[in-house]
Amino acid sequence: MKGSKVEIVQVLDKKFTPYINQEEIAELVTRVAKEVSRDLRNEKPIFLPVLNGSFMFASDLMKQLGFPAELSFIKFSSYQNTETTGTVKELIGFERSMKGRTVVVIEDIVDTGYTMQTLIQTLKEKEAKQVKVVTLFSKPEARKVEVPIDYLGMEIGNNFIVGYGLDYNGEGRNLPCIYELVKD
Ligand code: 5GP
Ligand code: MG
């Protein structure tokens, strides 16, 4: 953010205003990385960033752990079910066995909690020893189901954000800081 001038960014048809700058994000990531490293380095954890949103956070976080770790990306693939009108979401990308492992899920943001609930359930079915949840942001006001968050960057209000991995309809993931939607 240069001086006091607020630089509005246009992403597709919406305007976004700066919300969390790069320095602030870096502080959150460094603190979380220290906590995770302190607690889990002796567990030989496997880290599971949830694509696409967590790619930048996961990259910065993993670099700061300070020990060699195992990493495997997962993703919710949604596809139109031809037999029904609904959209089916499937978890893909499990390349390694989760059985008996300490699994550390890396998320960009926990909103309603449905994504994390599904993921934790899946990891239990895959017989993970324990599941730890790391998320950069959480929107407690938006929560529909309770999910455990073990490591949190910060709580935010119920506003739509983009940047640092988060998109608006496919755009804006590359923005280096966080912007929030300007309501019209
Ligand atoms: P949940 O299942 O908790 O409702 O949603 C989690 C996912 O929704 C996040 O991983 C993220 O991809 C998306 N999401 C939730 N809130 C926001 C937001 O404010 N901005 C963006 N870009 N994505 C969000
Ligand atoms: Mg996500």
* Each residue's pLDDT tens digit, 34-61: 999 999 999 999 999 999 999 999 999 9
Q: Which residue from 107, 108, 161, 181 has its CB within 8 A of the most atoms of ligand 1, so it is best to mutate?
A: 108
Give the whole-angstrom CA distance, residue 47 versus residue 62: 9
Q: What integer is the mean pLDDT of 95-118?
A: 95
* Each residue's pLDDT tens digit, 149-169: 999 999 999 999 999 999 999
**Which ligand 1 atom sits closest to the C-alpha of 107?**
10
115 lines ligand 1 (CB under 6 A): yes
Give the whole-angstrom CA distance, residue 110 versus residue 155: 10
Tell me the DSSP string of the chain. Answer: --TT----EEETTEEEEEEE-HHHHHHHHHHHHHHHHHHHGGG--EEEEEETTTHHHHHHHHHTS-S--EE--EEEEEEE-SSSSSEEEEEE---S--TT-EEEEEEEEESSSHHHHHHHHHHHHTT-SEEEEEEEEE-GGG-SS----SEEEEE--S--EEBTTB-BTTB-TT-SSEEEEPP-
Give the whole-angstrom CA distance, residue 108 versus residue 147: 15
Residues annotated as catalytic (active site), given as ranges: 111
* 77, pLDDT greater than 90: no
**Which ligand 1 atom sits closest to the C-alpha of 167?**
22
